Structure 1
Amino acid sequence: MKFEQGEKIPEFKLKDHTGNEVSLSDFTGKNVLLSFHPLAWTSVCRKQMQSLEDNYADFTANNTVPLGLSIDPVPSKKAWAEKLEFENLKMLSDFWPHGEFAEKLGIFIEKSGTSGRVNILINDQGEILWSKEYELGELPDIEEVLEQVKDNS
């Protein structure tokens, strides 16, 4: 899917890995990076989420909240976050209805029941500032992501 700058994403209410509901309205005055990854517990997805956690201070310094999203259920996301010893990154579950948010964004992959690997930077109104879709096995370049975050802060 091609995301257009300025286009609005649909509203979302998803549970994070601790079971708390998260929506765009929680981040008034901040930009949000929606970082979709296909499956928890896989190596490229681990590196993608670890890069968000490792650079959390850079996101915060640029008025941006990174969120990791996948279609995995909350208990799986919780166990994974604990295993990775994450302290800051919220990982959201688009599990039920299965992949509904990814479907609305046009990045749900029916064949595998997962989302694509996509980064979408939005403002607090849900307007797209920047986005990039990656091959499933491709690790997003965190330096490129941080450059876009900085340029749009």
Structure 2
Amino acid sequence: MTLETGDKAPAFDMATDGGGRARLSDFAGKTVVLYFYPKADTPGCTTEGQDFSALSAESAAANAVVIGVSRDPVKKLDRFKAKYDLKVILGSDEDGTVCEAFGTWVQKKLYGREYMGIERATFLIDGQGMIRQIWHKVSVKGHAAAVLEVISSL
């Protein structure tokens, strides 16, 4: 099943950096930006995390919380967050249940080799838990600003 704008967002519950947990139900009434990225501490994923972090004050002012999701273990996320002073929540989806629920665990191709991996995608979820916008196959440059623009218009 593919999620679409207007669908109810799948509930999620995952470990986060700093030993915390993130559950969709924890953010009732807030806008949630759930962005999926392939791997912590790689160039594109670092840039994306830094871009969302640079806009974290504006996101908070718009009553939004930003959560980056990868299948990396919490310890790796803690190092990643500290190394780049990231200001977003980093969720650890080690077993892949959140990626599966949002349809971001996909077959990818690189240099003719096929493998399973995380599609770089972002889901904008409103305070009632409904998906307001989806960005698939995200290009990192300018993405965080484009998401903030949509948040600010809600």
Query: Residues 37-56 of structure 1: matches in 2 within 5 Å?
Result: 37-56=37-56
Query: 2:110 is matched with which residue?
Result: none
User: Which of these residues, 113, 125, 132, is aligned with residue 122 of structure 1?
Assistant: 125
Give 2:151's aligned residue: 149
- Give the SS at the match of 2:91: strand
Provide the C-alpha distance between the structure 1 equivalents of 2:106 and 2:3, rounded to a whole number of angstroms.
17
Q: 1:104 aligns with which of 89, 101, 105?
A: 101
Report percent identity of matched pairs: 31
| Runs of 5+ unmatched residues, structure 2 | 108-113
CA distance in 1, matches of 2:103, 2:133: 16
Shift in Å at residue 102 of structure 1?
0.5
Distance 1:18 1:133 in 2: 28
Q: Would you say the 8 A contact 1:14–1:94 is kept in 2?
A: yes
Q: Cα–Cα, structure 1 residues 83 and 15, in superposed 2: closer, same or farther, change >3 Å?
A: same
| Deviating more after overlay: 30-39 vs 138-147 | 138-147
The structure-2 alpha-carbon separation of the partners of 1:36 and 1:77, relative to structure 1 and needing over 3 Å to count, comes to same
C-alpha deviation, 1:113, in angstroms: 4.5
The residue identity in structure 2 corresponding to 1:147 is E
Aligned residue for 2:137?
134
Q: 1:83 to 1:72 in 2, by over 3 A?
A: same
What whole-Å deviation, never above 9, does each CA across 1:79-124 have from its counterpart, x for those lacking one? 11011122x31100001xx211111211103554432100100023
Q: TM (normalized to structure 1)?
A: 0.88
- 1:17/1:113 Cα in 2 relative to 1: closer, same or farther (>3 Å)? farther
Unaligned runs of 5+ in 1: none
TM-score calculated relative to the size of structure 2: 0.87
The corresponding residue for 2:27 is 27
Cα displacement (A) at 1:68: 0.8
Instruction: Give secondary structure in 2 for the equivalent of 1:52.
Output: helix
TM-align CA RMSD: 1.7
1:115-138: CA deviations, max 9, x gaps? 210010002332101110125xx3
**1-side partners of 2:77 and 2:137: how far apart?**
22
